[in-house]
Amino acid sequence: MSLPRIAVDAMGGDEGVRVMVEGAALARRRHDKFKFLLVGDQPKIEAALARHPGLTAASEILHCEDVVAGDEKPSKALRRAKTTSMGLAVNAVKKGDAGAAVSAGNTGALMAMSKLALRTMPGIDRPALAALLPTLGETDVIMLDLGANRECDARNLVQFAIMGAAYARIVNDRPRPSVRLLNIGTEETKGTDELQEAAAVLKAASGLELDFAGFVEADKINRGTCDVIVTDGFSGNIALKAIEGAARFVTDLLRNAFSSSFRSKVGFLVSRPATELLRHHLDPNNHNGAVFLGLNGVVVKSHGSASAKGVANAVEVAARLLEDDITDRIKQDMAELGEDKLRGTPRGTPAATQLPAE
């Protein structure tokens, strides 16, 4: 059976068509069984494809000139979902013309379009935005929610834990991922009522392919002590921005220090292998590709400033999720938990408040 193709919003991102097509071409070399639907301005896409014959043979172009602006409000973008490259890419998943959509465009607009077009899976109240963050361990840590929901109840957090664990089993090859809830302390008595209730459900649940390991504090996010970290979208988005800011601060501090004097420049040459390793580890392109988990279809958000390498990583995330059928895994795990296990936790409100994720 042939794998479903991947729809790529070729007009999204800071550099648009060239980088998106080049990234898709790089990903195609790693996953050569996939075909692509490239959505955007056909003449521009064809010009970019001229340098990538392998991708050309595996692609179809859906012409569209309308683009969602980076600062456009989600409500306005929703009204143009049927005419924009982003909206048509997501709609291709809804219609079954593609199994996944990848976009580097406006995050809020992509979130709104995806939720409206694809809806949430049975048993999932709200989708969550999940991403891979670098750690000192052997693998990256998956963190969710990073901005799809401002407020979350215990029921939402339990569902996020199940979705994050299913994601970890695919991208990090963890048979039983360790899951922790982000909290202000690791003691069992710390945290809000929602965190306490979610912890109790996860601790008591049996049959799930995950190990609940309690709470984790924000300063341990990148230590590699667990596979999945679960939080609400408000806290997660703040934590993500703090980590990104700290990474830029460290790299800028090193750059300034090594250029401050002749002796510093000599020191830089001596320590260059170590600084290159640090740069590689902190490069967001190596961890690019956030996923909206919990929808009836796969949608991957690439960072707007991602390079072709970063776009390729985002496309590869979509490919792996399709190959391992992430939606089916989540359905199985939710069935294993059972609605009765969540009966003591209040159901979240249907509409989640969107947060800007860029």
Q: Model confidence over 168-212: pLDDT tens digits?
A: 998 888 889 999 999 999 888 888 999 999 999 998 887 788 999
CA triplet 250, 255, 259: central angle to 5 degrees?
150
- What are the tens digits of pLDDT across the range 293-347? 999 999 999 888 888 888 998 999 999 899 888 888 888 888 877 655 555 555 5
Per-residue pLDDT averaged across 31-35, rounded? 85
d(CA 192, CA 10): 42
DSSP 259: T
The pLDDT mean for the chain works out to 84
> Predicted confidence band at 271 (pLDDT cuts at 50, 70, 90)?
low
With a pLDDT cut of 90, the percent of the chain lying above it is 43
- State residue 266's pLDDT score: 55
Per-residue pLDDT averaged across 245-263, rounded? 71
Least confident of 28-32, 48-52, 218-222, 250-254: 250-254
What pTM was estimated for this model as a whole? 0.83
Exposure string of 101-112, with b = 16+ CB inside 10 Å and e = fewer, is bbbbbbbbbbbb
Per-residue pLDDT averaged across 152-167, rounded? 93
- State residue 12's pLDDT score: 82
The answer, yes or no, to whether residue 268 has pLDDT greater than 60, is no
- State residue 85's pLDDT score: 94
**H or E element: which one contains 29?**
helix 17-30
With a pLDDT cut of 70, the percent of the chain lying above it is 84
- What are the tens digits of pLDDT across the range 87-137? 999 999 999 999 999 999 888 899 899 999 999 988 899 999 998 888 888
d(CA 248, CA 240): 13
DSSP 84: B
The answer, yes or no, to whether residue 16 has pLDDT greater than 50, is yes
> Predicted confidence band at 353 (pLDDT cuts at 50, 70, 90)?
very low
- State residue 346's pLDDT score: 56
The answer, yes or no, to whether residue 272 has pLDDT greater than 70, is no
> Predicted confidence band at 263 (pLDDT cuts at 50, 70, 90)?
low
The answer, yes or no, to whether residue 150 has pLDDT greater than 60, is yes
> Predicted confidence band at 351 (pLDDT cuts at 50, 70, 90)?
very low
φ, ψ of residue 209 to 5 degrees: the values are -85, 60
* Contact indicator for 288, 266 with CB cutoff of 8 Å: no
Q: Which domains does the chain have, with CATH numbers?
A: 1-118 (3.40.718.10), 120-293+324-358 (3.40.718.10)
Q: Could you tell me which residues are beta bridge partners of residue 23?
A: none
The answer, yes or no, to whether residue 350 has pLDDT greater than 50, is no
**H or E element: which one contains 324?**
none
- State residue 282's pLDDT score: 54
- State residue 164's pLDDT score: 94
- State residue 22's pLDDT score: 92
